[in-house]
């Protein structure tokens, strides 16, 4: 049974992914008969390359992908190395993990309102300190170098890498390692990098790749915070794809292929960087330098984490405040009055979208977790991985959605599933499965096989080993992966809208449609409604292992 | 409550698997209206409409109640953030060969999206709008944009739903006098640096602003009704780009970034980052005052020599599943009752497409009784309507704009 798992996973995905890829690549080379493109040609590429500002559009996301990943990874590494021995660390972990549940758009919107010249920070000090009765004409949001966009991505990706790192940490046994490196005179960070990081990084590597892929191809954050003259490629793609002139879809598809190239390029540069970093670490190891005085970098890492957390939390607080606000004008630091009108106006009619969101989220997450576990268990028992074919799984992560979803739509239209709940679940699965796989794959493979060998030697069946040994030890990463998958499902807008065609409204389709009206009060309400479900998911993912493993000291995070 | 939702969900998971199979084709014969109404009874109409304004969503929900009660038609609004998503769905269905039983029954549409769907043969044919019973009230004689949508002949492929006009608004309480023409606006921007901007084309409102500016700066407006001739382009648009060049350094953020769309523009006014915003809906300011977004001191104004105007419509895709239901819905939304309610600023404030002199005395009284709200101009105050330039001008101007200002850095 279980040996068919990889084949089954591929069978489920191959149709949607193949259609998605075909719908991205064929129109890029002129083929889309419905719109009059009957032959292969390079016209779309000629048009794309003639677009003003294309180089800037491609370079900013490339830089954003690499810088965001490097900065957030360095922060996580320094923070975990420097502070995971403290009790307060545990509390912080519970505090930061809910940030994962915050939709990117909501986080970006909150940040924009925090930092804008007419935003909250400025309102707090105006006019008393600044003398400004009207906001200054400063370019902060949408700055041309994309710095604000990178800050937004950094603040949002930090909790993700943090949580993934924590899930991987217990197996690297940081406590004993720290004791050894400390006794050898190494500083906390140096000891961690030499002793623990080589065991942790391989486990979180795919998550880092996901961060690079996301940061280099994000649409929402780019639109809300990124440069506009020119905008990052992904944001321009979305505009071209939605252009009323349907002929623009050819150029948009060529742009999607270019975007894919940008993301792959960022990943290749990162992989080259990994090699370089490995060399540098080796040189440092051999040099014997201890870096015993590392309080400054430890402090910097803690400061960065606190600042990022504070930024996202205050952004959320501001959205909450907006959802309750009466009139609120510059330079007032707080609304003139508070009202529940916006909430009561929108609360009705949320029941059905809520039920659909929950249903499709649970269904796709359960299938994804079951498939992932089956594939990994098969790999563990047979010693063979699912092979290169399983990398098919990651395709939906790096192909720009706008073009890809068009192919998905075609796939379901020619299948008998069109417009059914099953179609929607399968469409979500296409995006949920890669995240679950990459969250779970490496911690699973890092599992110390001797536990299983011991159990087998005592006569337990492979199934019993799975249920009694492997699954309980890996409970935390399993639940984190499920929570990530659930959050991914809830965040899906375009696939839900285009494949459900309004038959299956979710909180997200409602939220994005209403948010297009631009009223911050309404956006505030929906951001919180949208936040509630994934928040509950992450809450359970951190709470359950703590309860279940409460009697087992070595199963606590960062043990 | 929870149980019923769970049961509904369970039922819905299983049912569509069996019910999604193709339904028999029905010919929609608009001439026999009784037959249309009969066929429509029991149908569900999926109305794909921008869902960004709660008051509009509420209006559509009201129309749904009426349709259910009178015609047995169930109206479901598919809330979109962009009409292009409905167009994309129809394109995909055509690509998959699904020429019947499509998932989109009715689309709120106009301008370029209509032109595209018409050109790609994605709309229900032959023309049907002129055959709807309520067409007899429509003011197509005096409102040319009802029969010509952005210079594209409508030919009955979409039914008029409401009128739009480019209207500016600002807050007199801030003590800044408002310009009365594009030329004055250029001077105004120089005198008030950083306090004006416009959405970046090809956003609909941004492009409309450029069209307005083009219409006011061109020496002979007649030339704009013809397709662009390469040789003329630079000469005809020279005054336009000279004016935009003058404005550029004094725009908000010195023109280094532009707001994305009309919502972003309105926010900038609300946050006191700029002093003038504009929209294609005369009720925009009143609606924003009603939600508390803008202060109640905001007022609308137009340029006395005229601003652009257009009409928004309802279209039926060629493969719609509930064609009769969609026809009945379009007809109802064109009725004096539905139009009067839509024009009520407390509901929506969208100007009617009907001719007052074609209505009965009672229906007319319903329109006369409307109080348009403090910030909405009366129909008589909206000033003349300028003709839309031929679409080819906009394509060239958007490209030139992108080259000059779109990649400033």
Which residues touch A218 (CB under 8 Å, ≥6 apart)?
Answer: A61, A104, A153, A232, A234
pLDDT attached to residue A129:
86
Domains and CATH numbers, chain A: 2-24+49-231+292-555 (1.10.3720.10)
**Distance from A395 to chain B by nearest Cα, in Å?**
21
From chain B, the residues in CB contact with A507 under 8 A are none
B295 within a domain of the structure (yes/no) = no
Mean pLDDT by 10 residues, chain A (559 residues): 79 84 89 84 93 93 96 95 82 74 84 91 88 88 92 92 84 85 90 92 88 90 90 90 84 92 95 95 89 89 91 91 90 90 82 92 96 88 70 80 80 85 93 88 82 90 89 88 91 86 87 80 84 86 83 61
Average the pLDDT over each of B223-227, B255-259, B331-335 and give the range with the smallest value.
B223-227
From chain B, the residues in CB contact with A227 under 8 A are 257, 409
- Percent of chain B having pLDDT more than 70? 93
Q: Is the domain of B74 the same as that of B137?
A: yes
Task: With a cut of 50, say whether residue B244 has pLDDT above it.
Answer: yes
For range B266-291, the mean pLDDT = 92
B302 within a domain of the structure (yes/no) = no
B128 within a domain of the structure (yes/no) = yes
pLDDT attached to residue A1:
65
**Distance from A420 to chain B by nearest Cα, in Å?**
5
pLDDT attached to residue B123:
96
Which residue is it, tokens 């239901």? Answer: B325
CA B282 from centroid of its chain's CA atoms: 12
For range B76-83, the mean pLDDT = 91
From chain A, the residues in CB contact with B403 under 8 A are 52
For range B128-150, the mean pLDDT = 93
Residue-wise pLDDT tens digits, A439-488: 888 778 888 888 888 999 999 898 898 898 888 888 988 998 999 899 88
Give the closest of A34, A346, A518 to B263, CB-based.
A518
The structural domain count of chain B equals 2
Q: Is the domain of B222 the same as that of B154?
A: no
B56 within a domain of the structure (yes/no) = yes
- Compare all CA atoms of chain A with the CA of B109 and give the residue at the minimum distance: A244
Average the pLDDT over each of A251-265, A403-417, B186-200, B230-244 and give the range with the smallest value.
A403-417
- Compare all CA atoms of chain B with the CA of A516 and give the residue at the minimum distance: B52
Chain A CB within 8 Å of residue B264 CB = yes
- The CATH number given to whatever domain includes residue B180 is 3.40.190.10
pLDDT attached to residue A557:
52
Beta-strand runs (E) in B141-205: 148-149, 152-153, 158-165, 167-170
Q: What b/e readout covers B373-386, taking b as 16+ CB neighbours within 10 angstroms?
A: bebbbeeeebbebb
Residue-wise pLDDT tens digits, A90-139: 777 777 777 777 878 888 889 999 999 999 999 999 888 888 888 999 88
Give the closest of A352, A514, A520 to B54, CB-based.
A514
Residues in chain A, total: 559
**Cβ-contact B260, A222 below 8 angstroms:** no
pLDDT attached to residue B28:
53
- Of A302, A401, A122, whose CA–CA distance to B85 is shortest? A401
Model pTM?
A: 0.87
**Distance from B272 to chain A by nearest Cα, in Å?**
6
Chain A CB within 8 Å of residue B409 CB = yes
Q: Which two tokens stand for residue A58?
A: 């491609």
pLDDT attached to residue B54:
85
Asked if A329 lies within 8 A of B254 by C-beta distance, the reply is no
Give the SS3 label for residue B169.
strand
B185 within a domain of the structure (yes/no) = yes
Q: Is the domain of B133 the same as that of B227?
A: no
- Of B174, B166, B241, whose CA–CA distance to B204 is shortest? B166
A-facing residues of B in 304-333 (CB < 8 A) are none
From chain B, the residues in CB contact with A225 under 8 A are none
Q: Is the domain of B222 the same as that of B327?
A: no
Chain A CB within 8 Å of residue B169 CB = no
Q: Is the domain of B332 the same as that of B274?
A: no
Q: Is the domain of B40 the same as that of B147?
A: yes
**Distance from B136 to chain A by nearest Cα, in Å?**
31
For range B313-332, the mean pLDDT = 97
Task: With a cut of 70, say whether residue B17 has pLDDT above it.
Answer: no
Task: With a cut of 80, say whether residue B42 has pLDDT above it.
Answer: yes
**Cβ-contact B338, B347 below 8 angstroms:** no
Chain A CB within 8 Å of residue B115 CB = yes
pLDDT-derived band of residue B13, with 50, 70 and 90 as boundaries? very low
**Distance from B298 to chain A by nearest Cα, in Å?**
13
From chain A, the residues in CB contact with B78 under 8 A are 497, 501-502, 505
B17 within a domain of the structure (yes/no) = no
pLDDT attached to residue A225:
92
- Compare all CA atoms of chain A with the CA of B80 and give the residue at the minimum distance: A513
Chain A CB within 8 Å of residue B387 CB = no
Picking from B19, B81, B111 by the largest number of A CB atoms within 10 A of its own CB, the best residue to mutate is B81
From chain A, the residues in CB contact with B253 under 8 A are 137, 139, 142
Q: Is the domain of B33 the same as that of B49?
A: yes
Give the closest of A56, A494, A513 to B51, CB-based.
A513
pLDDT attached to residue A387:
62
From chain B, the residues in CB contact with A359 under 8 A are 9, 13
B256 within a domain of the structure (yes/no) = yes
**Cβ-contact A211, A69 below 8 angstroms:** yes
Picking from A15, A56, A518 by the largest number of B CB atoms within 10 A of its own CB, the best residue to mutate is A518
B4 within a domain of the structure (yes/no) = no
Q: Is the domain of B261 the same as that of B394?
A: yes
pLDDT-derived band of residue B212, with 50, 70 and 90 as boundaries? very high
pLDDT attached to residue B132:
96
Instruction: Give the C-alpha separation, A19 to A23, whole Å.
Output: 6
**Cβ-contact B77, B49 below 8 angstroms:** yes
pLDDT attached to residue A386:
58
Instruction: Using CB atoms within 10 Å of the CB of residue B295, give its burial: 0 to 12 exposed, 13 to 18 middle, 19+ buried.
Output: middle
Question: Above 0.85 for ipTM, yes or no?
Answer: no
**Cβ-contact B285, B375 below 8 angstroms:** yes
Which residue is it, tokens 């990098």? Answer: A193
Task: With a cut of 80, say whether residue B205 has pLDDT above it.
Answer: yes
Instruction: Give the C-alpha separation, A50 to A437, whole Å.
Output: 39
Give the closest of B9, B13, B88 to A406, CB-based.
B88
A333: DSSP letter: S
Chain A CB within 8 Å of residue B219 CB = no
Give the closest of B5, B93, B405 to A351, CB-based.
B5
Question: Which domain range does residue B176 map to?
Answer: 167-279+385-406
A413 or B33, which is more confident: B33
- Compare all CA atoms of chain B with the CA of A332 and give the residue at the minimum distance: B271
**Cβ-contact A549, A556 below 8 angstroms:** yes
Q: Over chain B, what is the mean pLDDT?
A: 89
Q: Is the domain of B269 the same as that of B315?
A: no
Q: Is the domain of B348 the same as that of B207?
A: no
Q: Is the domain of B72 the same as that of B151?
A: yes
Asked if A137 lies within 8 A of B254 by C-beta distance, the reply is yes
Can you count the helices (H) and strands (E) in chain A?
26, 2
Give the closest of B82, B95, B112 to A245, CB-based.
B112
Task: With a cut of 90, say whether residue B320 has pLDDT above it.
Answer: yes
Q: Is the domain of B73 the same as that of B157?
A: yes
- Compare all CA atoms of chain A with the CA of B89 and give the residue at the minimum distance: A498
pLDDT attached to residue B22:
37
């Amino acid at each position: 049974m279980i040996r068919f798992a990889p084949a089954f996973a591929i069978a489920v995905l191959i149709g949607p992914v193949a259609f998605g890829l075909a719908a991205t690549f064929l129109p890029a080379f002129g083929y889309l008969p419905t719109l009059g493109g009957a032959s292969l040609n390079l016209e779309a590429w000629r048009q794309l390359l003639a677009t003003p500002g294309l180089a800037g559009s491609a370079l900013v996301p490339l830089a954003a992908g690499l810088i965001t990943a490097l900065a957030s990874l360095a922060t996580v590494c320094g923070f975990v190395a420097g502070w995971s021995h403290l009790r307060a660390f545990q509390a912080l972990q519970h505090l930061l993990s809910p940030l994962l549940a915050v939709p990117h758009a909501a986080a970006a919107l909150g940040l924009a309102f925090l930092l804008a010249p007419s935003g909250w920070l400025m309102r707090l000090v105006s006019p008393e300190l600044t003398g400004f009765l009207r906001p200054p004409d400063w370019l902060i949001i949408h700055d041309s170098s994309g710095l604000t966009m990178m800050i937004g991505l950094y603040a949002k990706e930090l909790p993700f890498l943090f949580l993934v790192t924590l899930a991987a940490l217990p197996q690297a046994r940081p406590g004993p390692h720290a004791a050894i490196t400390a006794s050898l005179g190494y500083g906390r960070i140096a000891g961690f990098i030499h002793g623990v990081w080589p065991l942790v990084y391989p486990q979180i590597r795919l998550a880092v790749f996901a961060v690079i892929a996301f940061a280099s191809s994000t649409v929402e954050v780019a639109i809300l915070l990124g440069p506009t003259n020119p905008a990052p490629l992904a944001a321009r793609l979305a505009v071209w794809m939605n252009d009323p002139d349907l002929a623009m879809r050819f150029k948009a598809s060529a742009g999607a292929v270019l975007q894919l190239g940008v993301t792959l390029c960022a990943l290749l540069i990162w992989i080259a960087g990994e090699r370089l970093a490995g060399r540098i670490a080796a040189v440092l190891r051999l040099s014997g330098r201890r870096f015993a005085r590392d309080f400054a970098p430890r402090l910097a890492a803690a400061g960065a984490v606190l600042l990022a957390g504070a930024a996202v939390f205050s952004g959320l607080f501001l959205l909450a405040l907006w959802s309750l606000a009466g009139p609120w004008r510059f330079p007032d630091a707080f609304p003139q009055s508070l009202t529940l009108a916006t909430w009561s106006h929108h609360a009705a009619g949320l029941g059905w979208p809520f039920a659909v969101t929950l249903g499709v989220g649970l269904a796709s997450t359960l299938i994804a977790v079951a498939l992932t576990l089956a594939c990994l268990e098969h790999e563990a028992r047979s010693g063979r991985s699912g092979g290169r074919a399983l990398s098919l799984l990651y395709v939906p992560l790096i192909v720009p959605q706008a073009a890809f979803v068009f192919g998905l739509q075609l796939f379901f239209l020619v299948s008998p599933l069109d417009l059914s709940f099953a179609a929607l679940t399968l469409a979500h699965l296409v995006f949920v499965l890669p995240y679950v796989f990459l969250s779970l794959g490496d911690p699973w493979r890092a599992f110390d096989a001797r536990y299983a060998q011991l159990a087998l030697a005592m006569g337990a069946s492979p199934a019993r080993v799975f249920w009694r040994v492997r699954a309980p030890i890996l409970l935390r990463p399993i639940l984190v992966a499920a929570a990530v998958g659930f959050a991914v499902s809830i965040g899906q807008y375009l696939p839900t809208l285009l494949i459900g065609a309004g038959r299956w409204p979710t909180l997200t389709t409602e939220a994005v449609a209403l948010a297009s009206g631009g009223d911050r009060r309404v956006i505030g309400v929906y951001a919180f409604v949208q936040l509630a479900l994934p928040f509950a998911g992450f809450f359970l993912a951190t709470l359950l292992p703590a309860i279940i493993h409460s009697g087992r000291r070595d199963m606590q995070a960062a043990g | 409550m929870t149980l019923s939702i769970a049961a509904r969900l369970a039922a819905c998971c299983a049912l569509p698997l069996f019910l999604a199979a193709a339904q028999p084709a029905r010919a929609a014969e608009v001439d026999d209206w009784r037959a249309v109404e009969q066929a429509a009874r029991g149908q569900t109409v999926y109305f794909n409409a921008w869902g960004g304004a709660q008051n509009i969503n509420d209006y559509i929900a009201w129309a749904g109640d009426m349709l259910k009660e009178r015609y047995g038609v169930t109206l479901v609004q598919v809330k979109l953030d962009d009409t292009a998503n409905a167009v994309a769905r129809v394109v995909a269905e055509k690509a998959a060969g699904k020429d019947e039983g499509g998932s989109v029954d009715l689309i709120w549409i106009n301008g370029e999206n209509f032109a595209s769907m018409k050109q790609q043969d994605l709309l229900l044919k032959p023309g049907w709008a002129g055959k709807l019973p309520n067409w007899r009230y429509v003011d197509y004689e005096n409102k040319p944009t009802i029969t010509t949508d952005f210079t594209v002949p409508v030919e009955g492929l979409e039914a008029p739903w409401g009128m739009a006009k480019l209207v500016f608004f600002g807050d007199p309480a801030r003590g800044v006098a408002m310009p009365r023409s594009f030329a004055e606006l250029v001077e105004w921007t120089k005198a008030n640096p950083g306090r004006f901007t416009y959405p970046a084309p090809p956003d609909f409102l941004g492009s409309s602003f450029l069209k307005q500016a083009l219409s006011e700066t061109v020496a002979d407006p007649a030339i704009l009704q013809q397709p662009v001739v390469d040789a003329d382009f630079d000469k005809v648009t020279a005054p336009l780009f000279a004016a935009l060049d003058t404005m550029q350094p004094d725009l908000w953020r010195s023109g280094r970034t532009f707001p994305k769309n009309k919502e972003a523009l309105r926010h900038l006014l609300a946050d006191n980052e700029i002093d003038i915003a504009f929209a294609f809906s005369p009720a925009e300011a009143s609606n924003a005052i009603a939600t508390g977004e803008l202060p109640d001191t905001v007022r609308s104004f137009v340029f006395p020599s005229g601003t652009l105007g257009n009409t928004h419509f309802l279209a039926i895709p060629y493969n719609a599943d509930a064609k009769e239901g969609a026809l009945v819905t379009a007809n109802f939304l064109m009725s004096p009752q539905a139009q009067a309610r839509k024009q009520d600023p407390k509901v929506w404030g969208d100007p009617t497409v009907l001719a007052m002199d074609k209505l009965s005395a009672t229906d007319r009284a319903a329109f006369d009784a409307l109080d348009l709200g403090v910030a909405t101009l009366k129909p008589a105050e909206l000033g003349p309507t300028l003709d839309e330039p031929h679409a080819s001008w906009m394509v060239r101007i958007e490209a030139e704009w992108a080259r000059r200002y779109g990649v400033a850095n």
